[in-house]
A and B are shown apart, each in its own frame.
Chain A
Amino acid sequence: MEVQKEFELAETAFTKESLPLRKNALEAFEKLGIPSMRHEEWKYTNIKAKLKQQLSLTTTDSQVNAAVKNYIASLPPYAFRLTFLNGVFHPELSIVPDLKGVTVCSLKEAFAHHTTLVEKHFGKLVNYSEEHFAALNTAFVTDGAFIHVQRNVIVNEPIYIQYFFTATDANAFTQTRNLVILEEGASLQFAEDFRNASNINVQYNHVAEVYVGKNAKVDVAKLQLEVSNAIGIHTLESSVERDGRFSAATITFSSPNTGTGNALIRNNVTARLVGENAHADLNGLYFGKETAHIDNHILVDHVAPNCTSNQLYKGVLNGEATGVFNGKIFVKPDAQKTNAFQSSKALLLSNEASINSKPQLEIFADDVKCSHGAAIGQLDENALFYLMARGITKEEATQILTYAFAHEVVDHVHSQPIRQFLCDKLKDELQLNF
């Protein structure tokens, strides 16, 4: 990547005023580079070898192709959606909500019309001086969604933010970004949906920053359901104030039943509990097939006292798929009376599949209850036998039990329409019809 040269050419979402931020981020990225496996956070994911050498950060190609049209037609009639093709906003494919007290637009537009609000929040949650891909994103972001919900406004319908990749340029490395701000007492559900609608390999690097104000409530669903032939790096950073609640579900299916499953997905999800009595729920479900590589890095940072957090991650790995789980719980010295729990489970369904798991606790306060549990294994032979003794084939029994295993995570998704959608997806994935 010739970052310097591309930096001059790039058409980004920024205004002139925010140029120093971009420059700082670029400098940080030049210092950091692409991480190698020697970096502790990238110990099990060889991103350096996977990413091509010659990537272009300034592609603007955003053709609407037949696959996208068909796809959109097949989706449930969403009330609200924002559609991006290769990181470029397409208003004609979107249904932008027009609600009182709610601002929804593209990040580009937000930079132009809501400058003070954006500048106050943009780039403040991600640590671009240390995180390689956050730095790259901050320097090169093309566009993304901006959502601002005013005080005590409740948005009942979920907002779908769809990112399609239709690139014809196999070297494109798309940089997109969402900025979501909730004022005191506001409530919002939204989904970030990533799909590769092209038949070539795509690369993208997405960052989202979510501010949860006092007593506000956010439900995020990160959907990575059709991401075969993709290298995707996702970063989701949130800060939760007093009495706020943040819940995120990250669902990754490395391949639809037709895909080749050649995917590398990395998720960095962070919840920072900065006000008392805040709560975070971070859940995840991943299905890996063939040579897919799915890496989930989660961090719950307890900064304020009396906060609670829950993490539940489950994975099903088949073929030669590899999974990585790193869940961190930090409890800072002031965060007394913290309750933090984490559970990570993985099913290995084939002998070539593997998982590297690293649950991690770092605790600096004494009046806390923290625990983590990790289990890796296969389906219970007794349960399989029970079903088979009742005339169910082994294959079907495996699917039923896998469904039961995975459904627990889907159950944790708060937003009803998204939960229903995922439930159907899960059945599709497992070819179950009941």
Chain B
Amino acid sequence: MSDSDKIIDEVVGNDYKYGFVTNIEQEFAEKGLTENTVRFISAKKNEPEWMLEWRLKAFRAWEKMEEPTWQNVHFPKINFQDIIYYAAPKKKKEIKSLDDVDPEIRATYDKLGIPIQEQKLLAGVAVDYVMDSESVITTFRESLKEKGIIFCSISEAIREHGTLVRKYLGSVVPQRDNYYAALNSAVFSDGSFVYIPKGVRCPMELSTYFRINAENTGQFERTLIIADEGSYVSYLEGCTAPMRDENQLHAAVVELITHDNAEIKYSTVQNWYPGDKEGKGGIYNFVTKRGMCKGVNSKISWTQVETGSAITWKYPSCILKGDNSIGEFYSVAVTNNYQQADTGTKMIHIGKNTRSRIVSKGISAGKSQNSYRGLVQVHGTADNAYNFSQCDSLLIGDKCGAHTFPYLEIKNNTGKVEHEATTSKIGEDLLFYCNQRGLTDEEAVSMIINGYCKEVFQHLPMEFAVEAQKLLSISLEGSVG
């Protein structure tokens, strides 16, 4: 191993630091998935009749569907009867404030570095914390309530804001949209719900932390965000899971809806357990995320930093239905060891003068495979649509792979679509330039990688950008060379 190999090794080889398990009392559903499981979950959550029907409809559709096989990731067939579909921390009493939360969960919080107290002081972020299936606590609700903003767990929203949920749930990702979305629609246990009323600019970042804790469970959360006319919200999502030898399934659905002149900014830092160096264990992250720019001049912006998961397979998408609406997708996907990622976006231009921008940066190291897959579709109605896509891949080491599968489907001659992609390794000339200026190889590599990702990181809220940069160096540790 040459010197530079060692350095790459150091930079890409850090261990996963969120791999602990929290010992709290939990209750589980029985293993396996039948109609009764769906009924059990629905009953557990005290859901109204319509919700149960909605879930059953999804379950019946799911039973008839087949698992997709077109993706460029490979894994043994999942046994859907070997998963626990519901696991929740046992609630002892009604939680009124942070102090009432189980100390073990509080400890988990602290280990994850979720700076709740600190954030409170800085008047920063309102946090919804979901462990396994159940939302544990949502902070800052009162101050948000004053503005008319609803930020709560989705099960609470189903009970308290039934009409709103019923109107929008499944309107962007229908129950039978795809195999994993149907599964999620049948068994989703919790997630976040956000409603921003007309003309309100959400005064703080809203944030959800997802945590898989229990063994053999799958996590199926559902997020629904509605931005009414002229409103704005920035939403953050973070996730971690303990280290285990077997693979665990995470199949979430996220739906965003923006009305006229509204904007949603959705940022994800995904750091599920990626499996060990031999590729054992890790989370299967099969997620459906889609936003609908329903109104004119509305905007949806996705930013994602994908460093974790054994397999990441997701395409945060925008349906640009309203005239002049804008869709954005900024992504950094890092794979190391035996990780696999097949991620990208879909931009569906339907309204006139719609614009979209895709910036995707892939970094593959070790023996990993990293794919960008994206679709830009310009319908006949989308006059003057404009899309620009850029997907770059960086290869670190000679055992990894980088792949690009862009689909461009253009049915309107007034549109303009541009796509660029490059694949290369860190150039020796770049390294040399840095060395010459007194930087060690290690510093140079991390500087180049950070520069490479900057275009994406700058779209993250400040706290997240710092975290993302740290994550990047951790997940690449031990692979630069």
A interface, CB within 8 angstroms of B: 40, 333, 336, 346, 348-351, 353-378
Contact = CB atoms under 8 A, between A and B. Distances in A.
Contact of A376 (B402, B416, B420): B416
A363 B413 contact: no
B109 to A, nearest CB: 40
5 shortest A-B CB distances, which residue pairs? A348-B413, A366-B395, A357-B408, A374-B419, A354-B411
A361 B423 contact: yes
A188 to B, nearest CB: 33
A349 B403 contact: no
Contacts of B407: 356-358
A352 to B, nearest CB: 8
A336 B418 CA distance: 29
A362 B420 contact: no
Given A359-B419, A374-B419, A376-B415, 9 more contacts: A350-B413, A356-B409, A361-B423, A364-B400, A369-B424, A373-B421, A376-B416, A376-B418, A378-B413
A374 B405 contact: no
A378 B414 contact: yes
State the majority secondary structure of interface residues on A.
strand
B410 A359 contact: no
B398 interface: yes
A354 B409 contact: yes
A357 B398 CA distance: 29
Nearest to A372: B421
Size bracket, chain B contacts:
20 to 34
Interface in B412-440: 412-425
B404 interface: yes
B70 interface: yes
B281 interface: no
A348 B410 CA distance: 9
21 contacts: A351-B412, A354-B411, A357-B406, A358-B408, A361-B393, A361-B402, A362-B401, A363-B402, A364-B401, A365-B398, A366-B395, A366-B398, A368-B395, A368-B424, A369-B422, A372-B419, A373-B419, A374-B408, A376-B410, A377-B415, A377-B418
A351 B380 contact: yes
B396 interface: yes
A338 to B, nearest CB: 10
Contacts of B124: none
B408 A376 contact: yes
Given A333-B398, A351-B380, A374-B417, A361 B408 contact: no
A251 B399 CA distance: 38
Contact of B398 (A336, A361, A375): A336
A354 B406 CA distance: 17
A363 B405 CA distance: 12
A270 to B, nearest CB: 18
A358 B405 contact: yes
Nearest to B401: A364
Given A363-B393, A363-B401, A371-B422, A353 B406 contact: no
> Looking at A40, A354, A366, which has the most chain B CB atoms within 10 Å of its CB?
A366
B398 A367 contact: yes
A370 B424 contact: yes
A114 B70 CA distance: 44
A320 B421 CA distance: 29
B397 interface: yes
A366 B423 CA distance: 9
Contacts of B405: 358, 360
Given A363-B423, A368-B395, A356 B415 contact: no
A275 B413 CA distance: 42
Given A40-B70, A364-B401, A370 B416 contact: no
